[in-house]
């Protein structure tokens, strides 16, 4: 799968490969140390952030994290604009 930044494809491929082996060989086996892919992730991140900036993709509007299911269930009946609170 391609990256949003064309020039990030190679870095993404390297990071994904690193992550996939870390995920199945280590993380799922109880090792939570995630430093193995940190260096390649950092380089890949810089590339993606640059691409996002160039393409004017703003993440500001997604500051909120998860909303609970109950909030969704409640707001469906009220029909109002829902306020998402940070937990």
Partner 1 sequence: MVVAASTCRTETVFDYSWMNVVVAYWNRYPNPSSTHVLTEDTIQREVRDGKLYSRRLLSKTNPVPKWGARFYNNVPVKIVEDSVLDPVKKTFTTFTRNLGMKKIMKVDEIVVYSEQKDGKTLAVRRAYISSQVFGFSRAIRAFGIERFKSNGNKASNGFNHVLRRMFPHSQLVIHPQPSIATASSASELAVATVATTSSSSGNHNKSETFKSAAKVGYEFFKCHASKIAQLFSVRN
**CB neighbour burial string for 34-67, b if at least 16 within 10 angstroms, e if fewer:** eebbeebbeebeebbeebeeeeeeeeeeeeeeee
By rule CB under 8 A, what count of residues binds partner 1? 40
Nearer to partner 1, 54 or 57 (CB): 57
- Mapped onto helix, strand or coil, the DSSP state of residue 81 is coil
- Name the site residues for partner 1 (rule: CB under 8 A): 1-4, 8, 12, 15-16, 19-20, 23-24, 27-28, 30, 32-34, 41, 44-45, 48-49, 52, 57-59, 61-62, 65-67, 69, 72-73, 75-76, 79-81
């Amino acid at each position: 799968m391609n990256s949003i930044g064309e020039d990030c494809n190679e870095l993404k491929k390297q990071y994904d490969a690193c992550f996939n082996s870390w995920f199945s060989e280590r993380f799922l086996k109880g090792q939570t140390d995630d430093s193995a892919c940190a260096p390649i992730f950092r380089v890949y991140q810089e590339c993606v952030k640059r691409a996002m900036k160039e393409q004017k993709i703003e993440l500001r509007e997604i500051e909120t994290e998860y909303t609970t299911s109950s909030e969704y269930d409640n707001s469906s009946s009220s029909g109002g604009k829902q306020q998402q609170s940070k937990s």
